């Protein structure tokens, strides 16, 4: 059994109706429980929970501090390539966009690592477009030893791979893998993934199963908020997490909740989520799962990040550039994947975190802890 089989238990329209039929009593019951199930999660993300936001935020803050202390982990993305063989309607790197393409060579990667290292980071997120020919496993096998020298935790966000390929990359130093389903609605998925391997909904959906079997230390999941009705899509994220935790209990998990941002070839957003609703979702994830890491990127505004930070977030990016070569070189803005909203430096971000009484965690992991 993989998640693509499990998901057949959840019919999209039934889930949506069930979320929208939750009432205040369901929300109160969910708030009173210490172990929540998926029905409780539906109640917490429903419109009926909106008047309970303050109670949700207080409980979310308490649970987060109990499990993670008053800490925020910092990471930074390193874009290695904007080559991509897919057409996704919402992304600046999409194959049909006429932008200059580049893939960093080993010297450029070294230069980027040195520039990032000066900012203090130990956790790095390697990002590429999805091009197996240009940035496939052979490229990562060259790049990872260059990067590994500088960082204690490596996360990748690249095309979904086979189990044996993940096993190779884990041996080369990868600790965590992020793969976002974008939307769990297969029809909408097909409308936005027009060409390339990414158009295979099922292959992507079963990626976390391959990761679990490969023995990855941590995996990340989420949907791209705005492609579909957000409450229903986020229910599927919670259901996916629940399934994975039971089956691959040795791995840790992290959830992101990116909202669609303007990009090259920008498209209309189907389901707008306002700031209050994003806070509601963050708190709902925390109440549903006190163990999961919740990550907030620089897609979100300075104002929003300042206010939401204590309510459940455990992981923050800072000083991000979404263009290959964006740290060591003055790369052209035209190469970026999407616009950054919070452009504060890592030092400024660290000051803000400390001013809120939190400790910045630059390093909480070393690959040697799991190296064979």
Q: Write down the least CB distance from residue 130 to ligand SF4, Å.
A: 4
Residue 190: strand, helix, or coil: helix
Q: Write down the least CB distance from residue 223 to ligand SF4, Å.
A: 13
Separation between Cα atoms, residue 318 and residue 47, nearest integer Å? 32
Q: Which residues bind ligand SF4 (CB under 6 A)?
A: 84, 86, 88, 91, 93-94, 129-130, 198
- Token pair belonging to 102: 């580049």
Separation between Cα atoms, residue 194 and residue 31, nearest integer Å? 41
Q: Write down the least CB distance from residue 86 to ligand SF4, Å.
A: 4
- Using CA of residue 26, residue 32, residue 38, residue 42, what is the dihedral sign? positive
Q: Write down the least CB distance from residue 47 to ligand SF4, Å.
A: 30
Separation between Cα atoms, residue 93 and residue 78, nearest integer Å? 15
Question: 192, 90 in Cβ contact below 8 A?
Answer: yes
Nearer Cβ to ligand SF4, position 182 or 293?
182
Q: Write down the least CB distance from residue 63 to ligand SF4, Å.
A: 32
Nearer Cβ to ligand SF4, position 86 or 271?
86
Nearer Cβ to ligand SF4, position 77 or 129?
129
Pairing status of strand 87-88 against strand 193-195: antiparallel
Separation between Cα atoms, residue 43 and residue 28, nearest integer Å? 9
How many other CB atoms sit within 10 Å of the CB of residue 198? Answer: 22
Nearer Cβ to ligand SF4, position 82 or 314?
82
Nearer Cβ to ligand SF4, position 139 or 248?
139
Nearer Cβ to ligand SF4, position 264 or 293?
264
Q: Write down the least CB distance from residue 91 to ligand SF4, Å.
A: 3
Nearer Cβ to ligand SF4, position 93 or 358?
93
Q: Write down the least CB distance from residue 146 to ligand SF4, Å.
A: 22
Q: In the chain, where does DSSP find H-type helix? A: 3-6, 12-20, 24-32, 38-45, 53-68, 106-118, 137-148, 163-171, 186-192, 201-205, 207-214, 230-247, 275-288, 302-308, 346-355
């Amino acid at each position: 059994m993989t998640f693509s089989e499990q998901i057949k238990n959840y019919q999209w329209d039934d889930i949506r109706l069930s979320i929208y039929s939750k009432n205040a009593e369901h929300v109160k019951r969910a708030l009173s429980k210490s172990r929540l199930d998926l029905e409780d999660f539906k109640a917490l993300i429903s419109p009926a929970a909106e008047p309970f936001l303050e109670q949700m935020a207080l409980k979310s803050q308490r649970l987060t501090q109990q499990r993670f202390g008053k800490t925020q982990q910092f990471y930074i993305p390193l874009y290695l390539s904007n080559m991509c063989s897919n057409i996704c309607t919402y992304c600046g790197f999409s194959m049909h966009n006429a932008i200059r393409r580049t893939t960093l060579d080993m010297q450029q990667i070294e230069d980027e690592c040195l520039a990032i290292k000066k900012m203090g980071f130990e956790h790095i997120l390697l990002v590429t477009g999805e091009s197996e020919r240009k940035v496939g496993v052979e490229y990562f096998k060259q790049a990872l030893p260059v990067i590994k020298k500088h960082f204690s935790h490596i996360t990748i966000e690249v095309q979904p791979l086979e189990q044996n390929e993940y096993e190779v990359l884990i041996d080369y130093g990868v600790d965590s893998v992020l793969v976002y389903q974008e939307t769990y609605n297969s029809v909408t998925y097909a409308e936005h993934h027009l060409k390339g391997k990414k158009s295979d909904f099922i292959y992507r959906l079963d990626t976390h199963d391959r990761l679990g079997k490969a023995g990855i230390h941590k995996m990340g999941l989420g949907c791209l908020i705005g492609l579909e009705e957000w409450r229903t899509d986020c229910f599927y994220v919670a259901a996916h997490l629940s399934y994975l935790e039971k089956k691959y209990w040795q791995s840790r998990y992290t959830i992101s909740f990116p909202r669609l941002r303007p990009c090259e070839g920008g498209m209309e957003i189907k389901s707008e989520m306002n700031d209050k609703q994003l806070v509601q979702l963050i708190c709902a994830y925390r109440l549903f799962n006190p163990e999961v890491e919740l990550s907030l990127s620089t897609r979100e505004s300075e104002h929003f990040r300042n206010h939401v930070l204590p309510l459940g977030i455990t992981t923050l990016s800072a000083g991000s550039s979404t263009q290959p070569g964006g740290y060591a070189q003055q790369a052209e803005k035209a190469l970026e994947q999407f616009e950054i909203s919070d452009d504060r430096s890592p030092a400024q971000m660290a000051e803000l975190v400390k001013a809120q009484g939190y400790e910045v965690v630059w390093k909480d992991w070393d690959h040697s802890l799991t190296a064979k």
